[in-house]
Amino acid sequence: MSDSILNLINTLRQYLDSKTCLLTISLICIFFRILVGLGPYSGYKQSPKYGDYEAQRHWMELTVNLNPKEWYVQTLDNSFDYWRIDYPPLSAYVSLIFGYISQYLDPQSMILFYSRGYEDYNHKIFMRMSVIACDVLVFFTSLYKVYQIEMQKYGFTTRNALFFVALMCPPLILIDHGHFQYNCFLHGLTLWAIYFCCKGQVLVGGIIFTLGINFKQMGLYYALSFFSFILGYLSFDSGFKSRVLIIFVGFGVILTTVILWIPWITNGYLLQQLIEAIFPINRGLYQLKVANFWCFSNIFIKWNNYFNQQTLVYISIFLTLILSLPSMFVILNRPKFKYMRFCLFNISMSFFFFVSCT
């Protein structure tokens, strides 16, 4: 670890107590996020689609002005050629909340269709602050709770230095605060789920993780890890109580999804449109766009020349499951936090290398 980080923590320690030190570290990390937000972003003043800022603003515009049943359906007011909502329902609901706030502060920013390409400076600040709010309220807090479990074995300086390094992770800051993304919301929910699972509250952990998947489908990278951990934890005692708890967790997960999907599950066409939006299998495996196995191997083997799209999807799922099985076996038999960490990493990397869930 960098000596400069350790020196910073030691300096803070001389003047501040433990809680104030953590607060100061958090404020420093927020300051760096603000600095990144002052920089440029892709698509600025570049018609016709204007880039990342416009995508998030447009989704707020759609959710505020359209009935939820129209969010995932192509209509005159919701053109898929512009910016289609391609994230699960919870993400759309969050866009709706921020959309209402945006409409209150700046009504012009949420006018259906006519607000396309709206790039007011004050509204850009609002969008930046919405990301910071999600980051602090969901990611910072969850990281702190997991940090309490994991870092107690270290001394004051090392504990706080690791917390600082985790909050200052460059990809998380640059992607979310440079390009108006809300990955911090998913990461925060995932960490909260880890925290509750490792505390033995697997029902709460399972429900929170379900919320994460329903925010961004990338949460599926961690799904097999949570499934294996919860099943292993509840199966440790093979009695009647264990079976009842498994049923309760399953029911909680299903009920959470049903509640979030209520506007669409009663109509087969709407449900199909929602599923196609969040799982765009027809777009391919991103051989040239995502730095995974398909991207690398495409240099030597043009897979599309040998297999159709459906077959490639089956192959990617098969390879992902095969590489995930060893970690799943370990966590099923040893449902403990120290194994959960490695399981999450191994299985998520298997998903990344062979399945593109953006």
The ranges assigned to domains in the chain are 3-262, 280-354
Looking at per-residue pLDDT, the higher value among 134 and 21 belongs to 134
Is the per-residue pLDDT at 5 higher than 80?
no
Q: Whole-number mean pLDDT of the chain?
A: 90
Mean pLDDT, residues 285-297 taken together: 72
pLDDT single digits (tens) 96-128? 999 999 999 999 999 999 999 999 999 999 999
**Three-point CA angle 40, 45, 50, nearest 5°:** 90
Is the per-residue pLDDT at 304 higher than 90?
no
Is the per-residue pLDDT at 3 higher than 90?
no
Please report the pLDDT score of residue 236 as a whole number. 75
Looking at per-residue pLDDT, the higher value among 302 and 288 belongs to 302
Is the per-residue pLDDT at 205 higher than 90?
yes
Residue 50 gets the label, from left (phi > 0), alpha (psi -120 to 50) or beta, of left
Three-state SS string over the chain comes to CCHHHHHHHHHHHHHCCHHHHHHHHHHHHHHHHHHHHCCCCCCCCCCCCCCHHHHHHHHHHHHHHCCHHHCCCCCCCCCCCCCCCCCCHHHHHHHHHHHHHHHHHCHHHHCCCCCCCCCCHHHHHHHHHHHHHHHHHHHHHHHHHHHHHHHHHCCHHHHHHHHHHHHCCHHHHHHHHHCCCCHHHHHHHHHHHHHHHHCCCHHHHHHHHHHHHCCCHHHHHHHHHHHHHHHHHHHCCCCHHHHHHHHHHHHHHHHHHHHHCHHHHCCHHHHHHHHHHHCCHHHCCCCCCCCCHHHHHCCCCCHHHCCCHHHHHHHHHHHHHHHHHHHHHHHHHCCCHHHHHHHHHHHHHHHHHHCCCC
Please report the pLDDT score of residue 1 as a whole number. 57
State the pTM of this model.
Answer: 0.93
Please report the pLDDT score of residue 19 as a whole number. 83
pLDDT single digits (tens) 171-191? 999 999 999 999 999 999 999
Please report the pLDDT score of residue 64 as a whole number. 98
Q: Name the pLDDT band for 349 (thresholds 50, 70, 90).
A: very high
